[in-house]
Amino acid sequence: MSSGLPERIGRWVSRPVTVAALVVPLLTFAVLLQVLKARATPTTPQTQQLYLSSGAALGRMALSFDSVVADVYWIRAVQHFGGTRRSDRGEKSYELLYPLLDLATTLDPRFDIAYRFGAIFLTEAYPDGPGRPDQAVALLQKGVQHMPERWQYLMDTGFVYYWWLHDYPEAARWFQRASTIPGAPRWLQSLAANTLAMGGNRQDSRALWGQIHETADDEWLRAEARRRLLQLDALDDIDRLMSEAEQFSVSTGRWPEAWSALVETGRLTAPPVDPLGHGYVLGSTAQSVTASAESPLAPLPDEPPGVVTP
Amino acid sequence: MSAVRAIAVHVVRESVRDKVLYNLILFAVLMISASYFVGLLSAGQEVKIIKDLGLGATAVFGLLIAVFIGIGLVSKEVERRSIYTLLSKPVRRHEVVLGKYCGLVLTLAVNLAIMAVTVYAVLGYMSVTGSEEFRRGLEAPATDPAMLKAFFLIFVQLMLVAAIALFFSTFCGSLVAAGLTVGLYVVGHFTADLRSLQDVVDAPVAGFVAMGLSYLLPDLAAFDVSADVVHAQPVTIGYILLTVGYAFAYIGALLVGAMAVFSRRDFT
């Protein structure tokens, strides 16, 4: 037994070379089997679950680590929003977005960005978002409750009423309330007055996004404001292109079948492109001009009937 | 005092020999990798999340050190019977307890100091490599000195936890001492709930007992000011002094208790 198997194993494991010679192939074999197993049994993506929905209970369980748990829920909210938005599965469900944001802000009531970005995520129209301005308003109100000194939440609430709900008297009321908070910019007062007097015209929308772009603390918010400003430019372009197409239609008795028809008659110098360089789509049957589906600017925002264009 | 110092130094040396400082490598890897991945996942909140994570991980790693070294300080000596060798030397029993505690506090101080430096280094790197706009958008500067208040209170909290662990270690086995310390750590975060129990239960005696317990048990939630410093909220010197005073009084009581138990314990 003195030169038996246990002794030989003892000798092997005492030499680094033999250890490496055994460990590397064994690990490689394990990885290979795992790859084969994954290919043989493709897993269906799991539906996301929220095991705990009570922020108060979660806060107690987190002991001193509420902020870290809040960060985890924030990252989950961002992943849920981005992942669902980019998924190519037919039905997109954003049903966990509000509960995740609600948990993040309950665990860390001063989580500023979770209120502001969260409201933007929630208002995005389906399929790019859940299209729930009501939830966005609820989230922002929670922020106001915890940080009444933040005029930004009041302005954002007004903005949801302005941009998404087209409820201009209510929007004006929130802009007015925001303007009374110490430290709020003076332009909020004139914005409130304009909103009340004129209802959403595109010039006011441009001014509003321009101010958000100028005053936002965060690069993501600034980028979102830039995108919205470009969407407004695209809406102006579409109005102009529709006018050209209609004039062509009046003079020739037919709707142009392609941009080339307008180019050939000298109404356009080239097929038109949006501010990001994607071509506009000329509808042949619906007599419409829209942004290309591939453009990051699509879909363009809805405007209320009778909107006053500059 | 020289006996206390010698025992304290021995505890620190033993913790180094037990590879306790390896946790710092894990901590550094966690912080550096988190700073990269969080930037990809958090939609512009990397500084806030690194601060939260840095303070949270410091508290967790420190807690593990305080509990697992603390419970073994006396009980392991008894279980391994090395206590006889120690007590045969010209050293008083209370000096053993005090020396062991000081050694553990020193180990915690070294660990926490290195963790704090690591967190500041990661945040400093993020701040230097970030744009001017990025820095302007922060609630508080990335390397905000106010974070030191949170690190300091975590350290004081861990001093208290170490005293609890040492106290249980003087009369319980390691496993029981670990259970009791972790149990008290958890309960120590619910003292405010205990205080308000009489408002939600219709049993005056239970409410009264809960109220008494809420004042008697260590209030460990008081040491958590992480959310305040991360959101640039003020943490006053008065609050820090009050909390530290509370901790020192509690630690004093626990150490006196531990010394009394250990002095009377019969090892024969």
Report if residue A93 sits inside a domain: yes
Residue B59's pLDDT is 93
Share of chain B above pLDDT 90, in %: 50
Please answer yes or no on whether A68 and B53 come within 8 Å at the CB atom: yes
Look at chain A and count its residues: 310
Residue B161's pLDDT is 96
Residue A1's pLDDT is 47
Question: What is the dihedral sign for C-alpha B75, B81, B82, B84?
Answer: positive
pLDDT digits (tens, 9 = 90+) for A37-70: 878 876 665 566 677 778 888 888 888 889 999 9
The residue with greater pLDDT, B134 or B126, is B126
Per-residue pLDDT averaged across B257-263, rounded?
A: 91
**Least CB–CB distance from A219: residue in B56, B137, B231:** B137
Report if residue A305 sits inside a domain: no
Residue A221's pLDDT is 76
Residue A130: give its domain's CATH number.
Answer: 1.25.40.10
pLDDT digits (tens, 9 = 90+) for B5-23: 999 998 999 888 877 777 7
Report if residue A48 sits inside a domain: no
Residue A307's pLDDT is 46
Contact B155, B251 (CB under 8 A): no
Q: Tell whether B223 is within 8 A of chain A (Cβ).
A: yes
Regions of chain A where pLDDT drops below 50: 1, 305-310
**Least CB–CB distance from A78: residue in B43, B53, B185:** B43
Total number of domains constituting chain A:
1
Residue B151's pLDDT is 96
Report if residue A8 sits inside a domain: no
Looking at the predicted structure, is the pLDDT value of residue B1 above 90?
no
Question: What is the dihedral sign for C-alpha B192, B198, B203, B208?
Answer: positive
Stated as kind and residue range, the H or E segment containing A245 is helix A219-252
Domain membership of residue A130 as a residue range: 55-225
Residue in A closest to B47 by C-alpha: A71
Total number of domains constituting chain B:
1
Domain membership of residue B172 as a residue range: 2-264
Question: How many Cβ pairs within 8 Å bridge chains A and B?
Answer: 70
pLDDT digits (tens, 9 = 90+) for B180-213: 999 999 999 988 888 877 777 777 888 888 888 8
Nearest CA distance, A281 vs chain B (angstrom): 32
Q: Tell whether A104 is within 8 A of chain B (Cβ).
A: no
Residue A310's pLDDT is 40
pLDDT digits (tens, 9 = 90+) for B62-117: 999 999 888 888 888 888 888 888 888 888 888 999 999 999 999 999 999 999 99
In order, the DSSP letters of chain B are -HHHHHHHHHHHHHHHHTTTTHHHHHHHHHHHHHHHHHHHHSSS-HHHHHHHHHHHHHHHHHHHHHHHHHTHHHHHHHHTTTHHHHHTSS--HHHHHHHHHHHHHHHHHHHHHHHHHHHHHHHHHHHHHS-HHHHHT-SS-TT-TTHHHHHHHHHHHHHHHHHHHHHHHTTS-HHHHHHHHHHHHHHTT-HHHHHTHHHH-S-HHHHHHHHHHHHHS--GGGG--HHHHHTT----HHHHHHHHHHHHHHHHHHHHHHHHHHHH----
Residue A309's pLDDT is 44
Residue B16's pLDDT is 84
Chain A residues in contact with B220 (beta carbon < 8 A): 64
User: Which of A67, A212, A213 is most worth mutating to test chain B (most B CB atoms within 10 A of its CB)?
Assistant: A67
ipTM exceeding the 0.90 mark? no
Residue in B closest to A217 by C-alpha: B137
In the block, tokens 């909210």 appear at A77
Report if residue A138 sits inside a domain: yes
How confident is residue B150, by pLDDT bands cut at 50, 70 and 90? very high
Residue in A closest to B40 by C-alpha: A75
Report if residue A22 sits inside a domain: no
Please answer yes or no on whether B227 and A218 come within 8 Å at the CB atom: no
Per-residue pLDDT averaged across B37-65, rounded?
A: 85
